[in-house]
Amino acid sequence: MSSAQTQSLGLGLRFTGASKTYGTVEALRPTDLAVNPGEFLTLLGPSGSGKTTLLNLAAGYLEPTSGSVFIGERDVTRVPARRRNVGMVFQNYALFPHMTVANNVAYGLKVRGLPKAEVERRVAAALALVQLDDFGGRAIQQLSGGQQQRVALARALVIEPDVLLMDEPLGALDRQLRKIVQLELRRLHEAHRRTTVYVTHDQEEALVLSDRVAVMRNGRVVQIGTAAELYGRPADAFVAGFIGESNLLPAKVTAVTSGTAEAEVPALGRRVTSDVLPGLAVGAPARLLIRPEHLQLDPAGEALEATVEEVVYLGELVALTLVLADGTRLWLRRFADREIPRGARVRVGWLPDALRILPEQ
């Protein structure tokens, strides 16, 4: 791959009203979504949320029931996968066990009929890109899981795709190796800015890798934004619970103005206010979001009595499970600057500006 090619942004990817149904089952509801050229977008959600269906529509492995798919300005809705110039990395890697590493990487180029010298040059460049320069002659069975994942990535990149698609590619790796490969993927993307769509159900992975994250549930995109936007301003209780650690307390909306919502929170024994969000209406069920780091022990202001039920040390941090008088459990995270025993009675407060009243959905 030439330096000009490896620095290419690729093309944008766009879905307009794209849906997929199987009989009466809506695997993907009509969806509008745009991935910018050079962007790393992650589709995040539980099993059955529609994220892999959306990825397969982009790849050409499925045709939408309705709507369209564009790569750049080209409508590829009915274009077969082999003519879309997309690279795909699967969870199981889908490598050929009877081929060497180099032959696996070269496969797509040979199918395209490229000259031998060009194939060899591009395979060498792709293996160097994933730091497997000296592994071309090895058998696939001689590689670790992390090395096989890199071979699969090199095979997808060597064709110089307009869009790179990745379907839970780190799912088979152990936790420590996943962290290492996550950072390698991020390094590669920052260096070469290939338009990438990545599927995972692992929120930490999504936050580490992505420029933006699209959270999916029940066949639709619930919210899309940067990691900071999703964590700090989740659209509803589902997103708040899926992105980061959360305390989500039952609440009932009592007032809504043009910019503020008020809700009664039985567990706290008081009403609270926050910015109003779409979906909040007087009388409607809601949730109060308090992130663990926004709770405080023994604050100067208002506080509730609580009992320390569990203490978990996380290095420089400590996580406490607190039980309020009505049995409500709160999770608090703070610096481990003093020892707090289980069973201790404490006062717990919160940062008022950090409270968020969220619709259930």
pLDDT digits (tens, 9 = 90+) for 329-353: 999 998 888 888 999 999 999 988 8
Q: Is the pLDDT of residue 131 over 70?
A: yes
Q: Is the pLDDT of residue 140 over 50?
A: yes
| Residue pair 196/58 in contact by the 8 Å Cβ criterion | no
| pLDDT for position 146 | 83
* Level-2 CATH architecture, domain 3-232: 3-Layer(aba) Sandwich (3.40)
Q: Is the pLDDT of residue 54 over 90?
A: yes
In the chain, what are the domain boundaries?
A: 3-232, 245-292+304-359
Supply 281's token pair.
């209406």
| pLDDT for position 7 | 52
pTM for the whole structure:
0.87
Higher pLDDT residue, 279 or 77? 77
Q: Is the pLDDT of residue 45 over 50?
A: yes
pLDDT band, residue 264 (cuts 50/70/90): very high
Burial (Cβ within 10 Å: 0-12, 13-18, ≥19) of residue 285: middle
Left (φ > 0), alpha (ψ -120 to 50) or beta: where does 315 sit? Answer: left
Average pLDDT over residues 215-222: 96
Supply 218's token pair.
């029940």
| pLDDT for position 358 | 96
| pLDDT for position 2 | 41
Nearest-Å Rg of the Cα atoms of the chain is 24
Higher pLDDT residue, 361 or 339? 339
Long-range contacts of 121-129 (CB under 8 A, 24+ apart): 122/1, 122/158, 122/160, 123/154, 123/158, 125/1, 125/6, 125/158, 126/1, 126/154, 126/155, 126/157, 126/158, 127/101, 127/102, 127/154, 129/1, 129/6, 129/154, 129/157, 129/188, 129/192
Q: Is the pLDDT of residue 68 over 90?
A: yes
Share of the chain above pLDDT 90, in %: 63
Please give the mean pLDDT across all residues of the chain: 90
| Residue 144 C-alpha from the chain's centroid | 25
Question: Residues 284-335: pLDDT tens digits?
Answer: 889 999 999 999 998 887 899 999 999 998 888 999 999 999 999 999 998 8
Relative to beta strand 163-167, strand 196-200 is parallel
Q: Give the CATH class of 245-292+304-359.
A: mainly beta
Rounded to whole angstroms, the Cα distance separating 310 from 207 reads 28
Question: Residues 2-16: pLDDT tens digits?
Answer: 443 445 567 999 999
Average pLDDT over residues 222-241: 94
Supply 64's token pair.
């939408």
Average pLDDT over residues 110-118: 90
Rounded to whole angstroms, the Cα distance separating 145 from 214 reads 28
Q: Is the pLDDT of residue 148 over 80?
A: yes
| Residue pair 83/75 in contact by the 8 Å Cβ criterion | no
Rounded to whole angstroms, the Cα distance separating 222 from 243 reads 12
